[in-house]
A and B are shown apart, each in its own frame.
Chain A
Amino acid sequence: MHESILVYKGFRWLKLSVAMVAVAVLAYAVHRPEVGPPNGGTTLGYVLGVWGLGLILWLAWFGIRKRRYGVGKQNLEDWLSAHIYLGLGLIVVATLHTGFQFGWNVHTLAYVLMIAVILSGVFGVAAYARYPDLITENRRGMTQREMLSQIAEIDAKARELSVDLGDNIHNEVMRAAEALAFGGSAWRLLRGREPDCPAARAMRRVGEMAMDLPKADAEKGHQLLELLARKVQSVERVRRDLSHKAMMDVWLYFHVPLTFALIAALTAHVVSVFFYW
C-alpha cells in the first residue's frame, strides 16, 4: 500500500550508507600507514575504529529509542531504515579498521560477534518481509484467540456427539482434547507442524472405529469425523500461525543478547589496546 522500510523515503539511508562506505574505502585506498601493514593501530585505523564503535553504540541505542514513545521528531520507521542500512555499512567500516588482521584474540571475537549480530539482523529483515503476508493469509480474518475458542467449541461439540458412540470413541475424543498442546520447545514452535498431532491421531482412529458403528449411529459417526477433520485444520492453522510469529521473533533472541556480548567484547578490545599495547 505504501513504502516499506527498505525503500523508505527513496532509499535515503541506503544512499547515506553507500556514501559512508565509499568514504571509508577511499580513505583506506589512499592511506599509507606509518609503519607496517594497514591495521587498527594506524591513524586511519583509529579513525575507523572510533567510527565503527560509534555506529555500534548508536545501533544498540535503537533498543532504547524503540521504547521511548511519543518523543522525538522521527518516526521509528525512519530509525529502523537507518539502522538497517548503516548497520550493513558497518561491515565495511569495521573490516577496513582491522586491516584484515584477524587472529585468535578478543579483537577478532568482537568482530565475529558484530558479524553475527548483523547476520541475525539480515535474517530479521527477511523475516519481516516474508511472514506478515503469510500470517494474514493463514488467519483468514480471525484473531488467535478466536481460533483457539473455535477449537474449544469443536471439542465441546465432539464430546457431546461422541457420548452416544460407545466408550472407545468417546475416550479417544476426550484424550485428544486433553493431549492437545501448542508450543513446547522452541524447535516445535518454529517448525509449525506436528508429525504426531493428537488431533490428527484421534481423527484417524475415530475414522477406523466409526466403520464398525451400527447403522443407526453411522450418521453421528460421520458428523463426528467431520468435526474432527475440521479441528485438524484449525489446529494446523494455529500451529502455522504460532510458527510464523515465532519466525518473526526468534532472531531477536540472537540479535539482542549478541549485541550485549559485542559491547562487552568491544570494551575489552578497546581497553586492551590502550593499556597493553
Chain B
Amino acid sequence: MAEHFKVAIIGSGPGGMSAAGRAAQNGVAHVLLEKTDHLSDTIYKYQKGKLVMATPDVLPLRSPMDFAMGIREDVLGIWDRQAAELKINVRFNAEATKIAKGDKGFTLTINGKETIAADAVVLAIGLQGNLRKLGVPGSDNHPRVQYQVDDPDEYSDETIVVVGAGDAAIENAVALAKQNKVIIVNRSGEFARAKQGNLDLISKSLDKGVLDCMYNSAPVKVENLSGDRMKLTLKTAEGEALVECDRIIARLGALAPRAFVESCGIQFPSKDPTALPELSPTYESNVKGLYVIGALAGYPLIKQAMNQGYEVIEFIQGNKVKPADEPILERKFAALLDRYTVDELLHAIQKTIPVFSGLTVLQLREVLLGSEVHTPQPGDAVFRRNEFTNTFFTIFEGEVGIEINPDDPNERVPLGPGEFFGEMGLISGRRRSATVAATRPSVLIETARREMIKLIKSVPQVRAAVDKAAIERQIRTYLAPNLSATYMAEVMSTAKLRPFKAGETVFNEGDPADGIYLIRNGSCTVSQRLAGREVVVNYVPAGNYVGEMALVRDRPRAATVKAAINTETVWVEAAHFRMLMDHMPELRHEVEKRIGAMIMQDEEISARPETGSLIEALVKEGAKEAADMLLIDESLCIRCDNCEKACAETHGGISRLDREAGPTFASIHVPTSCRHCAHPHCMPNCPADAIHKSKDGEVFIDEKCIGCGNCERDCPYGVIHMAYAADEKPGLLSWMLFGLGYGPGEDKAAALGEHHGAKLAVKCDLCKDIEGGAACVRACPTGAAIRVRPDEFFSLITKAGP
C-alpha cells in the first residue's frame, strides 16, 4: 500500500515550503516533495551573497516561516532551521513525475518509480523548469560539467567548452573568452535562436577569433584525463572530434514546466507560453483537489508565494481566510467602500465592465491590485495627447470625453460606464493620440500595462474585446475621425488585424494593391530595388499607414514593406479605403500630401543609395523601436569619454553608457545605451515591477529593483548591467587640487573590489530627473553625441548623408 497523506505539496520553494509549514503547524498529515537535495532551489541558485528583497512592502507576510530582506545565505538558513523546528515532513531528491487523479484522491509517482497517495495536491513548482542536461556518458554529476555560470570572471586561463547556441551560451562564451580559451559547440550550422544583439556579438567575436566555434557538432562522451583536464568526444559532420578542456559549460535551456502541469490535467486558457492556468479564488485548478500557488500561478514574488502557501492549507481544511492582500484593496478602493464591501465591489465591477466580466475572481483581484482608482471631476484631464503613458482605463461610473480634434477641445467622443479607453497607448507603446477628460464626476480604474498584457495573453475574451474597439478607434484616429456609424460599420466589416513577425514581408514591390495597413504597433521599413539591389528608402514607425500610394495612383506596389520588429497592422480593404477618400476631402488632401512628399524622398534616396544602407543598419540597431537613441558622430568625437564620465557623475558613479562598444556605420556610431523602446523588452519579466515608462517616454528602473537580472538578459541591445552602487566622492576641487579620492567617472569600490549592498540593474534613464536633459549630450565638448527621436531620425540622416 502506498503511503497516504492528506496533502502532498510539490516543490519546496517559498510557496510550497510555507504551505508545508502551515500544514505541520495545523497538524495536517502532509509530505513536501523536493526534487533537489535542499529546500527552495530557485533561491538556492541565486548568486552567492545576493540581497533577497521582500517586496512589495505594503503586502503583509502571513506564513509560519519568516522572511525579510536579507542576504541569500541568511534567508535560506532561517528557512532550514524553521523547517526543522516545525517538523515539516520533507523528502529530498523526490521529483514528482506524474500526478494522477482517481476516485479516492491522487496518486503521485516519485522519480518515476515509487508512488504515494494524497487527498489534495498543492503544486508549487515555480517557473524555473528543468535545466536540460548534457546527458552523455561521463557527464552526470561531473564536478566540472556545469549548467550555470555565476561570475564569468571567476575563471581564468582555462580551456572551456561551452555547449549550446542560445543567448545564455553566447553570453557565457563571450564573457569567459576574456580570460580563457573558449570553444563553443553548436549542434546546428548557425546561431539562429539567439536575439539580435547576441547574434552580432557572436559573429563579431568569431570573426575576430576571440573564440572558436564547432558547428554541426554534438557531444558524445566525457572522459577524465590527468589533473583537472578532461576529454570531450564530439560527433561532427566530418566524423569524431576530440577536444581537451578543463571545464564544460552546457547551456541548453530549460524545459518549461507547462508540459508537466498539463499532464496533470490542468488546462490553460490559451497557447501563449505566458498564459497562466485558470484558478478559483481558493487557488484550485480545474482538477478538483489540485491547487496551484506561487510563481506557477502567476505570482512572481517570494512574499506572495509564502502567503499563498499559508492560505491554500487553510482553504484545503475548509477554513475561510481573507486573502492577505485584502487591506491593499481596501486602501485602493477607499473612495467606494462607504457604498460597497470589497466582495460586493468586485461583483459590481464584473457586472458593469464587460472587459472584466470573463475573469475569475482571483484574476480580477490581481488586476485590481495592479490598478489605481481615480475620481475626476468634470474638466479634469485623465491623460493628455502626446504623453507616453501606457495604462488602460475602464469607466466604473460617470462619463469621459475623448478630444479627437487637437484644435478644438469641444469635439469629443463620449464614453460611459463599462467602456474603456487608453488601449491605443497600451498597444502601440507610443504617445497618447488624444486627450481624455472627465465630462461628469466619474470613477475610473487605471490598470497597469503589465496587468493588462497578462490578461490579454491569458483571457481570450479580453483580447477580443480590446482588439475590436481598438481597430475601430485606430481607423478613426489615423484615417477618418468623423466617419458616421454606418460607414464605419461597413469599413469594419472587412477591416482586420494582420500581425507580421520581425522581417516578414507586408507586401512586395510589384504586388497588386489590396488595401492599406495602419501600423498600430511595431514599425516597418520600406525598400525598393535600385540598380539590382534592395535599398531601404524609408522607415515608418507605429501610428502611420503604408500602402496608400498604390491605391491612389492605381498601380502595383512601388516598394516592398517589411516589418522591422514584430508588428501589428490594421488592414483596410482597397475598396473601402477609396470610399473613405471619396467621402472625406480632408483625407484625400492628407493622402495626396504624403504621396507628394514620398515621391520627392524616393528620388533623393535613389540619388544616394548609401543613405539607405545607413537607415537599414540603424533600424536594425534599435531605431525600429526606439523612442530615443543616442548616436555619436565619429567624425566629431574626440574619444574623450566625457559623455561616460558625465553619465557616471550624475548617476551614482556608474555610467549607463558604453561609448566605445557598439557598431559604427559610415561614421555614425551607436553606443551601448538604452533605446527607450516602444515596448521595452526589459519590462515584462521584471518580477518586482521596477521598470517603468515615464510620461515623456523614458524607460527607467526604480528602487524596487531586486537584482534578479531578468532585464539584463531580456534587453536585445545589451544596455542594462548589474552593478553595485559606487562610493561617495570628494568634491571636484579637492580631487583636482589635492588628488583626493577618485575623479570623474572613476569608481573606487570597483577598483578595490569592496562593495556594499546588492547588485542592482542600472541603465540610462535619459536624465529624466536632471534639469536640462541628457548629461552625456550636454557634456560632449564637440557636439558629437546627439539624441534622436524616431520622427527626426529620417530627416537627420538624409540631410547629413554618410
Interface, chain A (partner B; CB < 8 A): 1-5, 8, 64, 66-77, 79-80, 128, 131-133, 135-136, 141-144, 146, 149-150, 153-154, 156-157, 245, 248
Contact = CB atoms under 8 A, between A and B. Distances in A.
Interface string B657-688: 00011011001110000000000000000000
Given A2-B786, A5-B782, A8-B783, A245 B634 contact: no
B639 A75 contact: no
B170 interface: no
Given A1-B668, A73-B772, A136-B664, A66 B781 contact: yes
B660 A75 contact: no
B783 A3 contact: yes
B744 A67 contact: yes
A21 to B, nearest CB: 24
Given A136-B635, A136-B664, A248-B638, A69 B650 contact: yes
B43 interface: no
A191 B580 CA distance: 70
Contact of A64 (B732, B772, B780): B732
Contacts of B780: 75-77
Nearest to A125: B782
A127 to B, nearest CB: 8
B524 to A, nearest CB: 24
Given A1-B635, A132-B634, A136-B635, 20 more contacts: A1-B668, A1-B796, A1-B800, A2-B796, A5-B636, A5-B782, A64-B732, A69-B645, A71-B772, A72-B778, A75-B783, A132-B638, A133-B634, A136-B634, A136-B664, A149-B210, A153-B208, A153-B209, A157-B209, A248-B639
Contacts of B210: 146, 149-150, 153
Contacts of A69: 645-646, 649-650, 744, 775, 778-779
Contacts of A68: 732
Contacts of B744: 67, 69
Candidate in A1, A76, A77 with the most chain B CB atoms within 10 angstroms: A1
Interface in B618-652: 631, 633-639, 642, 645-646, 649-650
Contacts of B669: 136
Nearest to A248: B638
Nearest to A244: B639
Contact of B633 (A1, A75, A128, A245): A1
A4 B770 contact: no
Nearest to A146: B208
B181 interface: yes
B777 interface: yes
Given A1-B633, A245-B639, A80 B782 contact: yes
Contacts of B631: 1
A121 to B, nearest CB: 13
Contact of A142 (B208, B636, B667): B208
B20 to A, nearest CB: 51
A142 B782 CA distance: 22
24 contacts: A1-B633, A1-B635, A2-B786, A3-B783, A4-B636, A4-B782, A5-B636, A5-B781, A64-B736, A66-B642, A67-B645, A67-B736, A69-B645, A69-B649, A69-B778, A69-B779, A75-B777, A76-B780, A76-B781, A80-B782, A132-B784, A144-B660, A149-B178, A248-B638
Candidate in A67, A70, A135 with the most chain B CB atoms within 10 angstroms: A70
B781 A77 contact: yes
Given A1-B633, A4-B783, A76-B778, A128 B638 contact: yes
Contacts of A5: 636, 781-783
B649 A70 contact: yes
Closest 4 CB pairs of A and B: A77-B783, A1-B800, A70-B650, A69-B646
Contact of A75 (B637, B650, B778): B778
A76 B633 contact: no
B551 interface: no
Contacts of A128: 636, 638, 782
A70 B639 contact: no
Contacts, number: 117
Nearest to B208: A150
B203 to A, nearest CB: 12
Nearest to B647: A69
A70 B767 contact: yes
A63 B117 CA distance: 77
Candidate in A5, A79, A141 with the most chain B CB atoms within 10 angstroms: A141
A76 B786 contact: no
Nearest to B774: A70
Contacts of B661: 143
Candidate in B772, B786, B797 with the most chain A CB atoms within 10 angstroms: B772
Contacts of B796: 1-2
Interface in B464-496: none
A143 B669 CA distance: 12
A245 B641 CA distance: 12
A2 B646 contact: no
Nearest to B783: A77
Interface in B143-202: 178, 181
Contacts of A77: 780-783
Given A136-B664, A248-B639, A67 B209 contact: no
Contact of B663 (A3, A141, A150, A156): A141
A198 B24 CA distance: 75
A131 B779 CA distance: 20
Contact of B772 (A2, A67, A70, A144): A70
Interface string B592-614: 00000000000000000000000
B208 A149 contact: yes
Contact of B778 (A8, A67, A70): A70
Contacts of A136: 634-635, 664, 667, 669
A126 B226 CA distance: 61
A79 B796 CA distance: 24
Interface in B742-797: 744, 767, 770, 772, 775, 777-784, 786, 796-797
Nearest to A3: B783
B664 A141 contact: yes
B660 A143 contact: yes
B9 to A, nearest CB: 51
